[in-house]
Structure 1
Amino acid sequence: MKNLFFIFFITVLNFESYAQKFDNIAETPPMGWNSWNKFACNINEQVIRAAADAMVSSGMKDAGYEYIVIDDCWHGERDADGFIHADKEKFPSGMKALADYIHSKGLKFGIYSDAGTETCGGEPGSRGHEYQDAIKYASWGVDYLKYDWCNTGKQNAEASYTTMRNALYSAGRPILFAICEWGDNKPWEWAQDIGHMWRTTGDIYACWDCEEDHGDWSSWGVLKILDMQDGLRKYAGPGHWNDPDMMEVGNGMSVAEDRAHFAMWCMLSAPLIAGNDLADMSAETVAILTNKDMIAINQDSLGIQGFKYSSKEGLETWFKPLKNGDWAVTFLNRADQEHQVNFNWEDHQIEDPDFEYRVDFKNTLFSVRDIWAQKDLKTTKHALNARVAPHDVITLRLVKK
């Protein structure tokens, strides 16, 4: 322990002046799983190992998912020197052994802390222990830190997150830094050089379009979260992503709603962090989470979020520019009744409102691939005529010919 304390003292002196966030991380939106949405504080090392096993066996790892992230309530106590330890009953083998197990699966290990004195679940926060915690995380083999914002009093958000960024850098192990202050302090305006992703809203809730009132705060359904992303796309890109929160696919909504939820997170270039029980998934849930064509839209190297092109009577049309001149298009039916889609491509000239991407379908021809039906349609010389079910989507990839 004396060696750790010595390292702590030296790193604070030597690294503070030129610390930065780690480069070459999250060049495309991060993909993984987090324990909170399904398990909350009911976690232990068996639950986490089972999630890692299922990520591999389900095909999610092959589809691109890589992070296994333990959220709140893993904490034990701090020792006499102030270093944090895991709860010995929940994690008797310790965090290093758990990280080693996850790494042995070809996956990466994530953990959770809070910028305040206590986490949201009442566990020890990192306030005043940032450098010690960073050293511990590095020694355990952590690859991802979700950093929350409970019990922060009058702390300055930018300063608090900068302190932890500096601490992580000083510890020397490249760690993805996920800022989770719920968008209260507009992190999209200041966090690009601090974190790799930042929450844009409060917590998500497993419903289509609702607000779950908790008194002094609320959690939000999928459509509510989607609407809160308006105006934010210009701030995101490779290495720095808007985060509309972890996904609720497989947590009780309908298959159509899960499909639409996943499609819109892909269109938003959002981090794809599953929040269901990976060890107990339906075939429909697996099919949604591992749709390779949909994931390719999310992981496109341009890193440009989609934008809403039109909206009428609950039917929205979204476009997303992709590399090589391709486009993704999603027709989102927010309504409770079926909608007819009649889209004559040659009647439309698409201009990205924030970036210099545009297309005139009269002059440029595309082949059309239906992502969810997994079939090729006619080219954009032919109008699209289709029906989209309530709370569902049609997503197309347009490939420039």
Structure 2
Amino acid sequence: MSSWMRKTQIYLLAFIVLAVQLGIIAPGGEVAEAAKKEIAAKPYMGWSSYSMQVWESSNGGNGGQWITAEQIKAQSDAMHEKLQPYGYEYINVDAAWNGGMDGYGRPIPSTTLFPDGLQEVIDHVHANGQKFGLYTIPGLSSEAYDQDLPIYNAPGCSMKDIGDPAKESDYWGFGYKIDFSDACAQKYIDSIADLYAEWGVDFLKFDSVTPGSGISDLSLDARMT
């Protein structure tokens, strides 16, 4: 591709983005066409509960009230009606959705926020033709480590095989770093991934992955190494 053609594509993309921001063109038209032609990649378009949590918390309220079955389904319905024709398709649920862990150290949804179960909410989102996203952070729960819980479908593996209490796993100090040199560690991660797959989760947001999320140096390394 010539230098002139590359410059033309860049200028075209810049114009399309600016036009969408100014409301000159609808986001579902030229932007989608640009993505098809590989001039621009289509971003992950949708709604995240994080925005409402931050807004409510900054105004003296409890951000957790936005992570309820009623609110999530209402946002899903609104997006289905107003924005989905323009390519918006993700309903992403951010932090505080879980209500503890099961006997294998895997997160379980809050029964307070989701009285009919998180599965009912996920099914509602999917019925609207959308994709469902969920939030998580790296590491192993200190409670799971202290109880030395077994790892699901991994005979002979338990939490004290894979956790390192001398190293934190996240910016807030919620858990311990996982030692991926032990084969049991991957089995634990697989057990969580399989659980999310059973629920029908389409997208995962990993927060506090360091270096870079809150801590930019190597004092806290949460990568899976």
TM-score (structure 2 length as normaliser): 0.51
In 1, distance between residues paired with 2:177 and 2:74?
28
Corresponding residue for 2:75? 51
Given the superposition, is the C-alpha separation of residues 77 and 109 from structure 1 closer, same or farther in structure 2, using an over 3 Å criterion?
Answer: same
1:297-321 deviation line (CA, Å, top 9, x unaligned): xxxxxxxxxxxxxxxxxxxxxxxxx
1:353-401 deviation line (CA, Å, top 9, x unaligned): xxxxxxxxxxxxxxxxxxxxxxxxxxxxxxxxxxxxxxxxxxxxxxxxx
Gaps in structure 2 of 5+ consecutive residues:
1-39, 54-62, 142-169, 179-184
Structure holding more helix per residue: 2
SS at match of 2:205: strand
Corresponding residue for 1:184? 216
In 2, distance between residues paired with 1:126 and 1:96?
29
For 1:38, give the aligned amino acid. M
Corresponding residue for 1:37? 51
Corresponding residue for 2:204? 145
In 1, distance between residues paired with 2:130 and 2:105?
30
In 2, distance between residues paired with 1:36 and 1:183?
20
- Please list, as runs of the form range in 1=range in 2, the aligned pairs for 1:129-208 lying within 5 A after superposition: 129-149=188-208, 181=213, 184=216
In 2, distance between residues paired with 1:69 and 1:77?
20
Given the superposition, is the C-alpha separation of residues 83 and 53 from structure 1 closer, same or farther in structure 2, using an over 3 Å criterion?
Answer: same
For 1:141, give the aligned amino acid. G
User: What's the offset of the Cα at 1:105?
Assistant: 0.3
Structure 2 residue 85 is the aligned partner of structure 1 residue 73: no
In 2, distance between residues paired with 1:100 and 1:47?
15
> For the Cα contact (< 8 Å) 1:31–1:65, is it kept in 2?
yes
Structure 2 residue 87 is the aligned partner of structure 1 residue 28: no
Given the superposition, is the C-alpha separation of residues 46 and 122 from structure 1 closer, same or farther in structure 2, using an over 3 Å criterion?
Answer: farther
Given the superposition, is the C-alpha separation of residues 56 and 93 from structure 1 closer, same or farther in structure 2, using an over 3 Å criterion?
Answer: same
Given the superposition, is the C-alpha separation of residues 105 and 146 from structure 1 closer, same or farther in structure 2, using an over 3 Å criterion?
Answer: same
In 2, distance between residues paired with 1:111 and 1:56?
19
User: What's the offset of the Cα at 1:183?
Assistant: 8.3
In 2, distance between residues paired with 1:69 and 1:47?
12
SS at match of 1:36: helix
User: What's the offset of the Cα at 1:99?
Assistant: 1.1
In 2, distance between residues paired with 1:121 and 1:74?
17
Given the superposition, is the C-alpha separation of residues 149 and 183 from structure 1 closer, same or farther in structure 2, using an over 3 Å criterion?
Answer: same
> For the Cα contact (< 8 Å) 1:116–1:126, is it kept in 2?
yes
User: What's the offset of the Cα at 1:93?
Assistant: 2.0
SS at match of 2:134: strand
In 2, distance between residues paired with 1:82 and 1:104?
30
- Please list, as runs of the form range in 1=range in 2, the aligned pairs for 1:2-401 lying within 5 A after superposition: 27-39=41-53, 40-42=63-65, 43-57=67-81, 59-117=82-140, 129-149=188-208, 181=213, 184=216
Gaps in structure 1 of 5+ consecutive residues:
1-25, 151-155, 158-179, 195-401
SS at match of 2:84: helix
In 2, distance between residues paired with 1:52 and 1:66?
9
What is the total number of aligned residue pairs between the two structures? 135
Given the superposition, is the C-alpha separation of residues 122 and 142 from structure 1 closer, same or farther in structure 2, using an over 3 Å criterion?
Answer: farther
The CA RMSD over aligned residues, in Å, is 3.4
For 2:134, give the aligned amino acid. I
For 2:124, give the aligned amino acid. Y
User: What's the offset of the Cα at 1:82?
Assistant: 2.1
> For the Cα contact (< 8 Å) 2:119–2:199, is it kept in 1?
yes
> For the Cα contact (< 8 Å) 1:35–1:71, is it kept in 2?
yes
Given the superposition, is the C-alpha separation of residues 185 and 103 from structure 1 closer, same or farther in structure 2, using an over 3 Å criterion?
Answer: farther
> For the Cα contact (< 8 Å) 1:78–1:84, is it kept in 2?
yes
In 2, distance between residues paired with 1:90 and 1:123?
21
For 1:149, give the aligned amino acid. S
User: What's the offset of the Cα at 1:83?
Assistant: 2.5
Structure holding more strand per residue: 1
In 1, distance between residues paired with 2:42 and 2:215?
21
In 2, distance between residues paired with 1:95 and 1:125?
27
SS at match of 2:206: strand
